[in-house]
Amino acid sequence: ARYEDAPAANYFRGVTLRPRTVGITATFRN
């Protein structure tokens, strides 16, 4: 399974594009 196709892609993108705190928080909340 590719990360792009997997839901985890959003998590990695959030951590990469956005600050780790905001990305992780938003990911866990969503």
Rounded Cα gap, residues 3 and 15, in angstroms: 13
User: Cβ neighbours of residue 13 under 8 Å, at least 6 residues apart?
Assistant: 23
Which one, of 30, 27, 4, lies nearest residue 14 by Cα?
A: 27
pLDDT reported for residue 17:
59
Which pLDDT tens digit goes with each residue over 1-30?
454 556 777 777 666 655 556 656 655 565
pTM over 0.75: no
pLDDT reported for residue 7:
73
The amino acid sitting at 17 is: L
pLDDT reported for residue 1:
46
pLDDT reported for residue 8:
72
